[in-house]
Amino acid sequence: MAQKLWEKNVQVDREVEAFTVGRDREMDIYLAKYDVLGSMAHITMLESIGLLARDELTQLLAELKKIYKLADEGKFMIEDGVEDVHSEVELLLTRSLGDTGKKIHSGRSRNDQVLLDLKLYTRSQIREVTDAVSELTATLLSQSERYKDVLLPGYTHLQIAMPSSFGLWFGAYAESLVDDLQLLQAAYKVTNRNPLGSAAGYGSSFPLDRQLTTDLLGFDSMDYNVVYAQMGRGKMERTVSFALAGIAATLSKLAYDACMFNSQNFGFIKLPDQFTTGSSIMPHKKNPDVFELTRAKCNKIQGLPQQITLISNNLPSGYFRDLQIIKEIFLPSFDELKNCIRMANYMLSEVRVNEHILDDLKYAPIFSVEEVNRRVLSGVPFRDAYKQVGLEIEAGNFVPDKAIHHTHEGSIGNLCNDAIAALLQQVVTGFTFEKAVDAERKLLAE
Catalytically active residues, by annotation: 157, 279
State how far the alpha carbon of 237 is from the alpha carbons of 77, 243, 330, in Å.
25, 10, 7
Beta strands 269-270; 193-194: pairing state = unpaired
Find out whether 367 and 358 touch, Cβ atoms under 8 Å: no
Find out whether 250 and 176 touch, Cβ atoms under 8 Å: yes
The set of long-range contacts for 56-64, using a CB threshold of 8 Å and a minimum separation of 24, is 56/100, 56/103, 59/97, 59/100, 60/93, 60/97, 60/100, 60/101, 60/104, 61/446, 63/92, 63/93, 63/96, 63/97, 63/101, 64/36, 64/39, 64/40, 64/89, 64/93
- Measured CA to CA, the distance from residue 378 to residue 414 in angstroms comes to 24
Closest residue by Cα to residue 217 from 67, 331, 325, 112: 112
Q: Is 242 helix (H, G, I), strand (E, B) or coil?
A: helix
**HSE, side-chain direction, 13 A CA sphere, residue 16:** 3
Find out whether 88 and 78 touch, Cβ atoms under 8 Å: yes
